[in-house]
A and B are shown apart, each in its own frame.
Chain A
Amino acid sequence: MSGSSLLGATPATVALDASLEAYARRFRDRPGRAKPLSPQLRRLEAESIFIMREVAASFEKPVMLYSIGKDSSVMLHLALKAFWPSPPPFPFLHVDTTWKFSEMIVFRDLIMKKLGLNLLVHVNEEGLRRGINPYASGSGLHTQVMKTESLRQALDAHGFDAAFGGARRDEEKSRAKERIFSFRSQSHGWDPKNQRPELWTLYNTRKAPGESIRVFPISNWTELDIWSYLAEEEIPIVPLYFSAQRPTIERGGQIFMVDDDRTPLAPGEAPQMRGVRFRTLGCYPLTAAVESPAADIDAVIAEMLTATTSERSGRLIDHDESGSMEKKKREGYF
């Protein structure tokens, strides 16, 4: 086995190492597939691959945003397939708020290493110096500074002219309105009232210097498509998506994981072990867990089919005000 794990060799990290090693080997040895992909997923996969190739052929300096979540895992997988046998002809970028679940960071570093990919990690150092954090600054300011502004910094610093993002149209009502090739001004703003028409698959990739284009290759995938694809393609994802006993606390009727000692506890409060998993992954203080026994992907899919709340209901940053996603996007958020 190549590559050593970053933590001590616990059983969990050994298992992760082995699964990521096996994953990377698939793209070296190309063993072929046991059973064909279902037609619906095959169509979505082909559409996404087309979009990625179009970007690689039309832009000078593209980058793929990699946020470690399930959508990013699908995007990464699609990128590995789209250009095979070439490696993806662009680097990957993680905008790190320093408040991600530690398991996410372990996963990120290991998978990139196994696949031999070029990962750039950007942290808004100035935000750190200002002491911005999700507890004291509130979710709005934290997201603004550590995600939106940080992303803008990273894109500007490297001069990327196109950036892939893993947003899906079914996630949120303003995303349902966004083009696959979404034009951004020099200040990265989105003008929802003046989007370029986007007919057929003829994507307009033209822009002036300094302007950029955000590209959403999995726009037309639904949450169910993502999970089905992860299952059929056997794509490794961060174990937080599966239920395990985890230290948790309750805040405002929602359950949060205590990922490290930065979570402020009330006097006398002790984290409680609960069987929880996550439907989306973000900053741990802002991402609520769901209580669930679903410990593998089939169980997760089965639960999702009876879910009564949307995927993003666990995301605190979406609930500040109606239209808040659109507002963030106009400011340069993905």
Chain B
Amino acid sequence: MTSALNARHLASADKGLLRFITCGSVDDGKSTLIGRLLYDTRLIFEDQLASLQMESARRGARGGGIDFSLLLDGLEAEREQGITIDVAYRFFATGRRKFIVADTPGHEQYTRNMATGASTADLAVILIDARKGVLVQTRRHTFINHLLGVPRIVLAVNKMDLVGYSQARFEEIVADYMAMAAGLGFKSVTPIPLSALEGENVIAPSALMPWWTGESLLGFLEEVEVEDARLASAMRFPVQWVNRPHLDFRGFSGTLASGALAPGDPVVVARSGKTSKIRAVVTADGDLDRAEAGDAVTLVLEHEIDISRGDILCAPSARPTVARQFLSHVLWMHEDELQPGRPYLLKMGAQSVQAVVSAVRHRLDINTLSPAPAETLELNGMGLCEITTLQPVAFDRYRDNRETGAFILIDRFSHQTVAAGMVEASLQKATHVYSQAMDVSKPARSVLKGHKPAVLWFTGLSGAGKSTIASLVERRLSLMGAHTYSLDGDNMRQGLNKDLGFSDADRVENIRRIGEVARLFVDAGLIVTASFISPFRAERDMVRSLLEPGEFIEIFVDTPLSVAEQRDPKGLYRRARAGEIGNFTGISSPYEPPVDPEIRLLAGEGDPAAHAATVVEYLRIAGVLARAEDAPLEFSI
């Protein structure tokens, strides 16, 4: 490394930092381009260069040359397959500014890693292979940049060496791309022809493209303006951590997300509407007269008001929206598709709440870049969704504030990050301030689950098929994202009802307890399947009376005694007939069939799966499976 670099390194970064990404279709030359940039700006150390040369030779790089992509593709698997899998972050500086570049994968399978890189970028360099032109991935990445609000695009038409540095080909591709990107509202789209491999027009103008009068890539990146939109936005201070070393100090630590603040400024807590004034802006270096977006500080307020992690402090005159329902662009990032109605954990700033995607309004067709109808989103799918949260959250529209309008969804069981979201609009009419913490009530839980709670009470003779059908129903419901639980003789008799025998009195008590347990699960918002012979009408009616109208669904599994006895799966009928078991329903004790059950299944014949389908169809028609948006939303607070 010569001292040319060192001058570059040292010089003040007048133009500020530029964070950019490279993206585009697989093999378009993204990693090669960054490797070339690092190499040509002399940022590769001798020991690194030596191992790069060795590795290039070992992997059989073209003509004994250097494979620059190996500088970036740092994982074994990447080097073996010759593709980028995950984003690499590299840092470099020139005389004019500092750069953080994220080299992202082109392969569709790893789109989420591309999005990871794009979420913090000021600019995206979208590469196109000059031989191939605009591909599906070019479109997808362009759109993701648009969704994530990356303001500027450089369209790098690469591999110009392979098209004879043809001006006509370059212009053709640019025209294609511009036609596609025109409506997406980028601040600028700057086309630049280059060859990453040969280093043509990467850091200096190329003699091989005399027709190109524009800048080289690096020349452009050094000059391009980056605006920090955060400074111009309204003040938002998300509280990250309550700082309480002793009784005399209570501060709120956080990083100012946007705007500026100073001691004396009035503030309001977005969700509670409580107001106070800033007394001091504390840091370990002394108290500040002023803090602005990006500063990590600790605020001390004039009044003792209730504030905790997740609260957002703002100016009383410019508050964020506080709501439980909003419309959002969603990028789905997991192999398991989005399940409307299934609860996820939503993390937005320091706020973490449970949430459901209550509806997918549409998905984006990547070929036409236009909306298409959809029920769900699959891996790498993008679409517009309605989100409902259990508690109100404070947010801004993403286009107004990237810091307070973005969220991720986390699967509650696998803990994987499954989606990224960008708020488009609130779905509640007024911006309310919720002045009190909300009760988590039965309707609230129901909204969260995306369905209504219910008890599916399967009654019928021993061997009628209750448990078989109930478990098929449960399986179908859980596939639909419903939260179910099954109660049966096995889990009740062995635990809670261990002390009960089979006398008439004990049987009644058994059912009463089961009814109470079912009621609790219904209160928790679940769909309960209960499979019990429950021969007496009075007991079943007692359970019904514990629940609200519509919640108790009596399913008569109507199998003739002769059929049940013939099936005799546990050999009980035989033993009852032999007098070994007393009080056996149908033999030595009566069964009182329901008079007017919600569902009657003729289960002496037919396929259990068909009976299960009948039950699910009933639930759908009865509105039990209705999505959250159909459930009452405005509940007491």
CB of B253 to closest CB in A, whole Å: 6
**Is B74 within 8 A of A177, CB to CB?**
yes
B74 touches which of A80, A310, A326 (Cβ 8 Å) = A326
Report how far A192 CA is from B113 CA in the complex, Å. Answer: 12
Cβ-based interface call for A135 (8 A): no
CB contact list, A289-317 vs B, under 8 A: 305-310, 313
**Is A83 within 8 A of B255, CB to CB?**
no
**Is A32 within 8 A of B86, CB to CB?**
no
Contacts of B206 in A (CB 8 A): none
**Is B415 within 8 A of A208, CB to CB?**
yes
Smallest CB gap from B286: residue in A: A32
**Is B115 within 8 A of A197, CB to CB?**
yes
Task: Name the prevailing secondary structure of the B interface residues.
Answer: mixed
**Is B284 within 8 A of A84, CB to CB?**
yes
Contacts of B88 in A (CB 8 A): 173, 176-177
Contacts of B79 in A (CB 8 A): 323
Contacts of A45 in B (CB 8 A): 296
CB of B411 to closest CB in A, whole Å: 9
Report how far A307 CA is from B46 CA in the complex, Å. Answer: 9
Cβ-based interface call for B160 (8 A): no
Cβ-based interface call for A224 (8 A): yes
Identify which of B242-250, B381-389, B478-486, B571-579 touches chain A.
B242-250
**Is A170 within 8 A of B91, CB to CB?**
yes
Contacts of B283 in A (CB 8 A): 81, 84
Smallest CB gap from B90: residue in A: A176
**Is A53 within 8 A of B241, CB to CB?**
yes
Cβ-based interface call for B108 (8 A): no
**Is B9 within 8 A of A197, CB to CB?**
no
Identify which of B401-409, B524-532, B547-555 touches chain A.
B401-409
Report how far A2 CA is from B537 CA in the complex, Å. Answer: 84
Q: How many residues of A contact B (CB 8 A)?
A: 61
Cβ-based interface call for A130 (8 A): no
B284 touches which of A30, A198, A323, A327 (Cβ 8 Å) = A30
**Is A199 within 8 A of B55, CB to CB?**
no
Contacts of A310 in B (CB 8 A): 45, 47-48
Cβ-based interface call for A116 (8 A): no
Cβ-based interface call for B614 (8 A): no
**Is A83 within 8 A of B253, CB to CB?**
yes
Smallest CB gap from B47: residue in A: A313
**Is B6 within 8 A of A326, CB to CB?**
no
**Is B241 within 8 A of A224, CB to CB?**
no
Report how far A200 CA is from B347 CA in the complex, Å. Answer: 11
CB contact list, A84-129 vs B, under 8 A: 84-87
**Is B243 within 8 A of A49, CB to CB?**
no
Cβ-based interface call for A206 (8 A): yes
Given A81-B283, A308-B45, verify A192-B75 contact (CB < 8 Å): yes
Contacts of A43 in B (CB 8 A): 17, 294
Report how far A175 CA is from B91 CA in the complex, Å. Answer: 13
**Is B45 within 8 A of A313, CB to CB?**
yes
Contacts of B77 in A (CB 8 A): 192-193
Report how far A313 CA is from B51 CA in the complex, Å. Answer: 11
Cβ-based interface call for B596 (8 A): no
CB contact list, B101-142 vs A, under 8 A: 112-113, 115-116, 119-120
Contacts of B76 in A (CB 8 A): 323, 326-327
**Is A220 within 8 A of B100, CB to CB?**
yes
Cβ-based interface call for A82 (8 A): yes
CB of B4 to closest CB in A, whole Å: 11
Interface contacts (Cβ under 8 Å), in number, total: 171
Cβ-based interface call for A250 (8 A): no
A322 touches which of B51, B87, B402 (Cβ 8 Å) = B51
**Is A202 within 8 A of B407, CB to CB?**
yes
Cβ-based interface call for B557 (8 A): no
**Is B417 within 8 A of A204, CB to CB?**
yes
Report how far A326 CA is from B408 CA in the complex, Å. Answer: 28
Given A170-B90, A174-B75, verify A199-B115 contact (CB < 8 Å): yes
CB of B99 to closest CB in A, whole Å: 11
Residue of A177, A306, A322, A326 contacting most chain B CB atoms (<10 Å): A177
Cβ-based interface call for A46 (8 A): yes
B17 touches which of A40, A50, A313 (Cβ 8 Å) = A40
Contacts of A160 in B (CB 8 A): none
**Is B284 within 8 A of A80, CB to CB?**
yes
Smallest CB gap from A233: residue in B: B285
Contacts of A60 in B (CB 8 A): none
**Is B408 within 8 A of A204, CB to CB?**
yes
Cβ-based interface call for A188 (8 A): no
Cβ-based interface call for A195 (8 A): yes
**Is B420 within 8 A of A57, CB to CB?**
no
Report how far A174 CA is from B350 CA in the complex, Å. Answer: 29
Cβ-based interface call for A169 (8 A): yes
Contacts of A198 in B (CB 8 A): 116, 417
Cβ-based interface call for B85 (8 A): yes
Cβ-based interface call for B354 (8 A): no
Cβ-based interface call for A25 (8 A): no
CB of A46 to closest CB in B, whole Å: 4
CB contact list, B4-61 vs A, under 8 A: 6, 9-10, 13, 16-17, 45-48, 51, 54-55
Cβ-based interface call for A137 (8 A): no
Smallest CB gap from A311: residue in B: B45
CB of A208 to closest CB in B, whole Å: 6
Contacts of B286 in A (CB 8 A): 30-33
**Is B9 within 8 A of A224, CB to CB?**
yes
Contacts of B595 in A (CB 8 A): none
Report how far A176 CA is from B74 CA in the complex, Å. Answer: 7
Contacts of A169 in B (CB 8 A): 89-91
Cβ-based interface call for A56 (8 A): yes
Report how far A31 CA is from B48 CA in the complex, Å. Answer: 43
CB of A61 to closest CB in B, whole Å: 16
CB contact list, A15-58 vs B, under 8 A: 27, 30-33, 39-40, 42-43, 45-46, 49-50, 53-54, 56-57
Binary contact readout B344-370 vs A (1 if CB under 8 angstroms, 0 otherwise): 010111100000000000000000000
Cβ-based interface call for B309 (8 A): yes
**Is B74 within 8 A of A33, CB to CB?**
no
**Is A305 within 8 A of B9, CB to CB?**
yes
Given A200-B406, A220-B100, verify A57-B350 contact (CB < 8 Å): yes
A307 touches which of B45, B112, B243 (Cβ 8 Å) = B45
CB of B286 to closest CB in A, whole Å: 4
Smallest CB gap from B406: residue in A: A200
Given A202-B407, A204-B408, verify A85-B90 contact (CB < 8 Å): no
Report how far A57 CA is from B55 CA in the complex, Å. Answer: 44
Contacts of A177 in B (CB 8 A): 74-75, 86-88
Cβ-based interface call for B464 (8 A): no
CB contact list, A173-222 vs B, under 8 A: 173-177, 192-193, 195-200, 202, 204, 206-208, 219-220, 222
**Is A57 within 8 A of B240, CB to CB?**
yes
Report how far A308 CA is from B3 CA in the complex, Å. Answer: 10
**Is A82 within 8 A of B47, CB to CB?**
no
Cβ-based interface call for B295 (8 A): yes
CB of B401 to closest CB in A, whole Å: 12
Given A306-B3, A307-B45, A326-B75, verify A195-B86 contact (CB < 8 Å): yes
Report how far A31 CA is from B283 CA in the complex, Å. Answer: 11
Contacts of B85 in A (CB 8 A): 192-193
Smallest CB gap from B19: residue in A: A220
B245 touches which of A50, A86, A206 (Cβ 8 Å) = A86
**Beyond known contacts A84-B284, A199-B417, A204-B417: 9 more, CB 8 A cutoff:** A39-B16, A57-B350, A82-B296, A83-B243, A196-B417, A199-B115, A199-B116, A306-B3, A307-B45
In the complex, the 10 A-B pairs of residues with the closest C-beta atoms, listed nearest first? A173-B74, A32-B286, A84-B284, A199-B119, A206-B415, A49-B296, A86-B245, A310-B45, A81-B284, A197-B112
Can you list 28 pairs linking A and B with CB atoms under 8 Å apart?
A30-B284, A30-B285, A43-B294, A49-B296, A80-B284, A81-B283, A84-B283, A84-B298, A173-B72, A173-B73, A174-B75, A177-B87, A177-B88, A192-B85, A193-B86, A199-B119, A199-B120, A199-B417, A202-B348, A202-B407, A204-B416, A220-B89, A305-B9, A307-B45, A308-B45, A309-B47, A310-B45, A327-B76
